[in-house]
Structure 1
Amino acid sequence: MLIVADENIPLLESFFGDIGEIRRVKGRGLTRNEVQDADILLVRSVTRVNRDLLEGTRVRFVGTATIGTDHVDVDWLTEQGIGFSAAPGCNAGSVAEYVLAVISLFADQRDLCDWSTLSVGVVGAGNVGSELARILERLDFDVKLCDPPRQDAEPENADEFVSLAETLACDVVTFHTPLTRAGDYPTHHMISDQQLAELTSDQLLINAGRGEVIDGAALARRLAQPDAPVVALDVWENEPAIDPDLVDNVWLATPHIAGYSLEGKVQGTEMVYQALCRFLGLPVRKKAGQFLPEPALSNMSFTRNAVEDEALRLALGACYDPRKDDLRLRRVMKEEGEKRAEAFDRLRRDYPVRRECSSLKIHLKGSSKSLQDRFRALGFKLKI
């Protein structure tokens, strides 16, 4: 059995080595010739999987180690009887921690002693948005959820959701929707001139969902105007050939890596492995925890003199500081033409190991129950 797999999917040999022969390929620009003799195809979001790629091949199962599926023609796969699996929720914790790290930096910029005084509008309440909202609420933030499809589908929970206009009034607005172009609530260019005009310089706009949800040209126009919002983008239109001028003009720019924690990546691989085992009728013998290495930073200690908000954000920043990724992206945007696009992909391919809060044990001496609860909300392990 031949498994053709994106070279950037982690732990391919560990999970799939005893199922079949693995052929590693570059995910972007994958051709039919490269998958012609494959039985299994494993991809990430940079590969378009459709009739053009697979018709006439012998592929009978496709797995994408990503939460999104807008790069896969799922209907066509179903018509052809080709098995399919994604990895919904695999990197929800990673993206949530990215957003929290960005909010922490914004609070620093505003010199806020208590970051939970910020209201947060979460647009899109799927796996990622719901996980982020859960953490924020446990940290005592005022959270407003906007998800019209869910609101329609769950009338019994309709009062849990608010309109897009209400979320746009929050101090922080963060997007976690899929990319859709049809239906009652298309998300393509959902945020354009009219919505951006409502935001002010006192607000933070974060997009760690899909780049095309925000109209890039409209955003560029708004950023050139007075009283523009503070903007942090992890996803972009036209990846990997993103607009270097837009990178220059946003406050924080990262190369589509919000979900790139080691835990998130490995969980994505594990979920596809489990689905393939079910498809082939094989026992599931492996778990992600078997393969995670010891983290570089494993312990932090705080005494009874620690200030709650400062301690929490210090630990969060020790796990992940998005400013490092911002510097890397701005550096490669100085390249010329096609080299910029290649560099963007290279930043993702060669992304350094980043661990989630769950990898770090926090030692607390004489701390309050409030601080303990807030550390637990972020997923840290505690020793009291």
Structure 2
Amino acid sequence: MRVKRYQANSIKDAMALVKKDLGADALIVSTKKIPVQDGEWGPGVRQRFEVTAIPSQKGNPQQVEEPSREEPLVDLRPRRPSKPLETAQGSVEMNRLRELFSLLGHREDALGMLLSDPAATQVYVALVRAGISTVHARDWVDQARASAPGGDPARLFKAVMNLVLKGFNFSRPCEIKAGQAVCAFVGPTGVGKTTTIAKLAADLHLTRKKNVGLLSIDNYRIGAAEQLKTYASILGLPCLQAFNQKDLQYALGRLADKDVVLIDTAGQSQYDTQRMREMEALFDGERRIDIHLVLSAVTCESEMEETAKRFGGLDFSSYVFTKTDETKKRGAIVNQVLKRPMPVSFISTGQRVPEDFFRADRETMKNLLFSDLQGSFEDYSAAGEPNAMGLSV
């Protein structure tokens, strides 16, 4: 199979060269930028674009194989600016190709998968677009290909979905059958801890008929305790405030008759070492308190990982993911759970109290992670009925 490379001063010009030489059905393997010395390719040109392409295999699928050789670089230096692709269809095709192969470019071996199994490529791209890391996406696709052969994207996707969900564990805090459950929620500023507690309190009190008490130890944010007290007043629940460890012990004593005590904490930067130590000291020795880390799904992956690492000194027992309605790339949740394995306890999908709140389980996680991908696979919607989240899987 011929593998050819084309260089031009713009991606549009390079794509035009591909079309002219290999035809409109050529497959784009990769695109990249190449820095050049100023003036080497004309005034003001500081970079070139290189497109690697192969001829279309339409009408002869049996001859698709791994590239056996690569022809010399086709260096067609334009003497004048090339005309851009003028038709709307050509523009759409170009954008799709660029998006597809920019994703595949994360892994050098993706070309082999593309040439040998288009269904696997379709599933792989869908996972990466959802925010799942390229390494995990490729590994899961490879495993699924062994268990679901046949080239059916929908069947392959379901196999991958099951592999992803196997990586999750779920916990049920606040459901102690005997004794009292005391749950504290910690995390950075603005992730929605107070609202999450209000939602959980409403669910426990109104739906599960639990005797609930609320406790705020957020003495940094103006009005934080008042916000929690407002929720408590609406629900008819007691709400106390504590400023130090002595206050905390006293407040827990006053709430000793409650089935569940929910503790709201001050939001703080994971990089504020002093305040992190203060919180660790506040909970030190309180073995009865079950701590849960609240993370926003819109947080970038590296910051989410760093947050979990720095809050690790509190020995939290589960993740609570909030603001999942504000992003389409929920694969960051998958990546975080794989990097630092910990059960997921609750999912928050919006601002409404108490509607936008769910206990994490396999079905809820399946809807959360995969519902937006259903359009890529024709029979995906037949895999299940809508659950309480209103998403079909």
Tell me whether the two structures share a fold, i.e. TM-score over 0.5: no
Q: Tell me the TM-score normalized by structure 1.
A: 0.30
Answer with 1 or 2: which has the greater Rg. 2
